[in-house]
Structure 1
């Protein structure tokens, strides 16, 4: 939608730059109608988004991590509302340029050729300034998108690193648990062997015990 608005504006401004006294004043009126329609669309989008964000706020209050949830909603609210505001500013700038160009065109009808040339140069400069501003805005948007992508990439890398560290910790813990279990088994086997040895020694002693003396015969 922004690209369409920009293309329409440049086309309209081009018509105004080359306008002569015989040109009909319909073009600026049509441009104003388009700007009004775009502004109405921006306002409708703003109302729709705000209603959605309010509903998300209400859902956040039902969750345990309320502040974290609200923070994420507000971050998206600032980003999307900021984009609508930038569109609105561009529309306001375009409207001022068109009105100024129309005023210059009307003045040209009563001006000398030198004044007409000067006015045409002013319109050309205004168009160039506006195009430059659009390019700067586009560059800012691209930089913001790149920065956000970089943050997401860093977060993903950090998460992967954390998962790797956790997996290594779990591996070490599993290895230690296995070693402890093996040591316990060895200790239990040693204990059983000692018990069997002791029992065997007791049995041997019982077998080698001298027989009891017989009782004397009666007289």
Structure 2
């Protein structure tokens, strides 16, 4: 497996196939190690294609988790660049995650499987909301004490992962799961009911594409 430098958009066709295969294998099996033979078979490439890239397959999971975290964080930041209200940013971010799980089920299953256990994946769910919660506390937009931010992040992450599982397993639509999760979390942060409901049902912008 080649090291995942640069953007996903800049990957070669073979690199993309290998990454997608690795993501499926990790998510389906719930393990963080695969063999070269398993990866080659799942990706539909020769073992030599992987060996020729002089990769350490043992570090593949961490490479993949890091790359997916960087990619999603960059795209969400770009998508919400014009949104200043921390409550709106939180609701939008939650729904962007849940919608992507619907649009890209292998990605959703990978996030659902490892989002609570792998440190890199935990960072994926916490980085942006942490800043938004800090801003909301400073501006008194959210009813939350600073020492409660860590607990709020844990609650939000668990709720988003639950919504993703519900979507990829076919129990809810992404709109239902995303809006319900966003509304309940905003209510927990002290946002009035009518406003929380409105923010959770606003038209959702498209997720910005990753630039090369």
Q: Normalising TM by the smaller chain, what interval? A: under 0.3
Give TM-score scaled by structure 1 length. 0.26
1 or 2, which has the higher helix percentage?
1
Give TM-score scaled by structure 2 length. 0.27
